[in-house]
Amino acid sequence: MSQLTVELPPYISPDEAILLLAVKLYETGKLSLGKAAKLAGYSKPTFIELLGKMEIPVINYPAEELEQEINL
């Protein structure tokens, strides 16, 4: 695993920065839900709850695929 060192402004805690990184990596598809939750230091259910509070979808179905699934 790689390591990254970042200087943060005083109003952003290391825990918050790690959470935001994990969320963005999940949102962009770079990390699975489980790996993002682990990186952030949360259980999957708690991470899902945090994603909901941030209005980030947990299930990201493209509209066309969702319509195909519904019409099956």
Give the count of domains, the chain. Answer: 1
Domain containing 45: what range? 14-70
Q: Is residue 19 assigned to a domain?
A: yes
User: Mean pLDDT across the stretch 2-19?
Assistant: 95
| Other Cβ atoms closer than 10 A to 17 | 13
The answer to whether position 51 is within a domain reads yes
Q: Give the model's confidence band at 72: pLDDT under 50 very low, under 70 low, under 90 confident, else very high.
A: low
Query: Which of the two residues, 24 and 64, has the higher pLDDT score?
Result: 24
**pLDDT for residue 69:** 76
Specify the 3-state DSSP secondary structure of 3. Answer: coil
Instruction: Classify residue 40: in a domain, yes or no.
Output: yes
46/50 Cα distance (integer angstroms)? 6
In a domain, residue 2? The reply is no
Find the range with the poorest average confidence among 32-36, 41-45, 63-67: 63-67
Q: pTM of the prediction?
A: 0.80
Q: What is the mean pLDDT of residues 14-31?
A: 96
Cα atoms in the Cβ-side hemisphere of radius 13 Å centred on 51: 24
